[in-house]
Amino acid sequence: MSIRKVNLVPGEYYHIYNRGNSKQKIFNDNEDYLRFLGLLFACNQEANFKIDNLNKGQNLYDIDRSKQLVSIGSYCLMPNHFHLIITDTREGNISKFMQKVTTAYVMYYNKKYKRTGSLFEGKFKSQHAGTNKYLKYLFAYTHLNPVKLIDSDWKEKGIKNKKETLEYLHKYAYSSFLDYAGAERVQSKILSRKDFPDYFPSKNLFQKEIFEWLSYGDVSR
């Protein structure tokens, strides 16, 4: 993936997403999901990083990182696409970060599945969260994205069973929902929550309000 010609504005918030070529799966098993999550942490640094340089038995979350490139507020990985909410403090950092993550993941994926060529559908896509209301909406949308796997038309018709939905989200390990819901796990290192508005100061408030914000529809303007 090449670096974008138009840099994103430092200090602003962005919804970053991409999917597999022709909507193909980019995560086939638990190992794939965990590798991408680990790369979100390990590649988020100014210094170059090579997985081959890890000490035996060391995992991606144990490395000593140099200065972070971006701050990640939330994320969600789905079988054929991913979502990130990101901000940075220096022009070009988001593009540099995404290039590092996707390049490292494609190298891993192609080696594992004995394939060649691109995996993602071109350059990553971005949406500017220009208002506080839209940014909060994106936090809710990102965290509820996995509901598609059990109810494909939930966004159009609404959540049918909130209790069942919450139970499912608490079992879905590939988004930052669990971190906001109070889980203690190593993946929490991916997030830099202090660099984002504290929309959900408690896990109970988060689980209550996350559904309400999806009812606002398109709040991008």
pTM for this predicted structure = 0.91
Per-residue pLDDT tens over the stretch 53-78 = 776 667 899 999 999 999 999 999 99
pLDDT tens for each residue of 33-55: 999 999 999 999 999 888 877 76
Structural domains of the chain ordered from first start: 14-127 (3.30.70.1290), 131-185+196-216 (no CATH)
DSSP 1-51: -PPPSSPPPTT--EEEEEEBGGG--S--SHHHHHHHHHHHHHT-SSS---G
| Residue 215: pLDDT band with limits 50, 70, 90 | low
Rounded to the nearest integer, the mean pLDDT of the chain is 88
